[in-house]
Amino acid sequence: MKFKLIYPKWRKLEGQTTFNLPPHGPVVMAASLPDYVDVSFTDENVEEINFDEAVDFVGISMMLTVQIKRGWEIARIYREKGIKVIFGGISTMLHAEETLQHGDSIFLGESEGRMDEVFRDWEKGALKPVYNYLNEHPDIATVGPAKRSILNRPLYNHKGVQMVDLFHASRGCRFSCYPCAVSYLGGRKFRPRPIDKAIEELETIDNNRLFIVDNSLAQDKEWETDLFKAMIPLKKKWISHTIDDDPKILDLAAQAGAWYVYQAVFDTSDYIKERIKKYHDHGIGVEGTILLGLDDQTEDDIKRLIDFLLEIDLDLAEFTVLTPFPHTKVWDDLLREGRIFDRDWNHYNAGQVVFQPKHMSADRLQELYNYAWESFYKEESQEQKMFKLFSQVVLKEMNDGTFVPRKRELINKSFGKQVIR
């Protein structure tokens, strides 16, 4: 049977450099499908959907809240043709009740070991409205390599440079950050993959540059140490969220190919300064992630934070406004206080204010968000700063013999589209 897996498009934030990375959720889900399923994949961000393609069953994988309205529209088109549609992915879990109104079925949770049931039900014409495995996680040791063969590789290439591949070495998170839904989605327990399983998958990825998408690698020092030691011979270069700032672990991370990390900058403390310095001392770049609009932030606090960012040696910065996604503590608080004024999910892109801040108007917070981007990138554009980080990884690759030149046949294309050099 032919199964069509679709990743809906969404409108990117204005003024920011856009790179389309190969999505992770669909390739992980595809790996869990029964062997008899013939799966094809369309990422609508890089290619159009062929609604005339002959398919038997459609799956729509949605990671972001800003994808869901487009996902619902795609489902409507297929269902009018008499084709059953099942939804899955992070934003399906966050918007389950609404999404169920637009599909024949929704899948909640992690897919390993569960897809046989779904496809048997489909074959019998008895698809369940809801497959709820949110609180029943599969044995992490059963998680194998993602099925990246479904990706159309040239569409994730910018002027001959292949984009990073996404990979996960663990699931779950023992932390419970205020604006985050991870504890709802994956549980409060840290679930690391066995090191040999993680390395086995890394060896299958035909790309030297990776984004390790784990919520945080800094959750178990012994496992983190063992992972980095095992990664060293692979000579991969990678980006990740937070890693432990213990000098011994940072040294191993650098040897294992750490390119740069995302580091939350939540205040102007010496702790933040020192943490960034530790990364840089080990040759690891830092992209600061800065959340604006928290209740303890006044306008002066935000301005001081922006000034602080210009003083410290960040390689990149990414600014977001507090966004009350469902199933987070911030959603519960702002909903209870009647401060959410915009329920258009297309606006929940972390760059548009959809709630009433405590210490300023919504319009003023939006202005400060725009000011933050403009101020940080005033002297050097985002593209220029990205190029510096890119140059660093190229130098590392040339030094260890892993550098792969640009693909000449794609040098005039960006994500499948012709560009003028």
Which CATH number belongs to the domain containing residue 191 in this structure?
3.30.750.200
Instruction: Identify the band that residue 254 occupies on the pLDDT scale cut at 50, 70 and 90.
Output: very high
Locate tokens 């897809």: which residue? 115
In a domain, 421, yes or no: no
Domain count for the chain: 2
User: pLDDT band at 327, cuts 50/70/90?
Assistant: very high
Q: Which of 119, 140, 161 is the last residue of a domain?
A: 140
pTM: 0.96
Residue with tokens 């469902």: 326
Question: Which tokens belong to 362?
Answer: 């919504």
Amino acid 33: pLDDT = 98
- Please give the pLDDT value at position 421: 62
Q: What is the DSSP string of 39-57?
A: EEEEETTTS---TTS--SE
pLDDT at 17 over 90: no
Which amino acid appears at position 183 of this protein?
S
Residues 97-151 have pLDDT tens digits of 999 999 999 999 999 999 999 999 999 999 999 999 999 999 999 999 999 999 9
Side-chain-side CA neighbours of residue 172 (13 Å)? 17
Is residue 59 within 8 A of residue 5, CB to CB? The reply is yes
Reply yes or no on whether the pLDDT at 20 is more than 70: yes
273, part of any domain: yes
Q: Is 414 a domain residue?
A: no
- Which of 140, 173, 208 terminates a domain? The answer is 140
Q: State the average pLDDT over residues 156-167.
A: 96
Q: Model confidence at 34, in pLDDT bands (50, 70, 90)?
A: very high
Tell whether 386 and 242 lie within a shared domain.
yes
Q: What is the predicted pLDDT for the residue at 175? A: 87
**What is the pLDDT of the chain when averaged over all its residues?**
96
User: Both 38 and 72 in a single domain?
Assistant: yes
- Shared domain for 119 and 226, answered yes or no, is no
Q: Are residues 117 and 200 in the same domain?
A: no
* Host domain of residue 11: 2-140
Q: Are residues 76 and 161 in the same domain?
A: no
Q: Are residues 166 and 274 in the same domain?
A: yes
> Are 78 and 175 found together in one domain?
no
- How far is it, in rounded angstroms, from Cα 195 to Cα 193? 6
The CA-based dihedral angle spanning residues 25, 27, 33, 39, taken in that order and rounded to the nearest 10 degrees: 120
Whether residues 89 and 232 fall in one domain = no
The predicted structure's pLDDT at residue 183: 84
CA distance 23 to 166: 7
Q: Which residue has the tokens 């990678």?
A: 238
Task: Give domain status of residue 407, yes or no.
Answer: no
Predicted pLDDT of residue 329: 95
Tens of pLDDT, residue by residue over 195-240, are 999 999 999 999 999 999 999 999 999 999 999 999 999 999 999 9
**What are 85-98's pLDDT values in tens digits?**
999 999 999 999 99
318 secondary structure, DSSP code: E
What does the pLDDT read at residue 12? 86
- The answer on pLDDT for 15 being more than 80 is no
Whether the predicted pLDDT of 420 surpasses 80: no
Q: Which residue has the tokens 């191993």?
A: 252
Instruction: Judge if 297 and 177 occupy the same domain.
Output: yes
- Considering 120, 140, 160, which residue would you say is the last residue of a domain? 140
H or E stretch at 161: strand 161-162
177/286 same-domain check: yes
Is there a domain that residue 223 lies in? yes
User: For residue 174, what are its two tokens?
Assistant: 């023992």
Average pLDDT in the 269-295 region? 96
166 falls in which pLDDT band (50, 70, 90)?
very high
47: domain CATH number is 3.40.50
Alpha helices in 63-174 (DSSP H): 68-80, 90-94, 96-100, 115-123
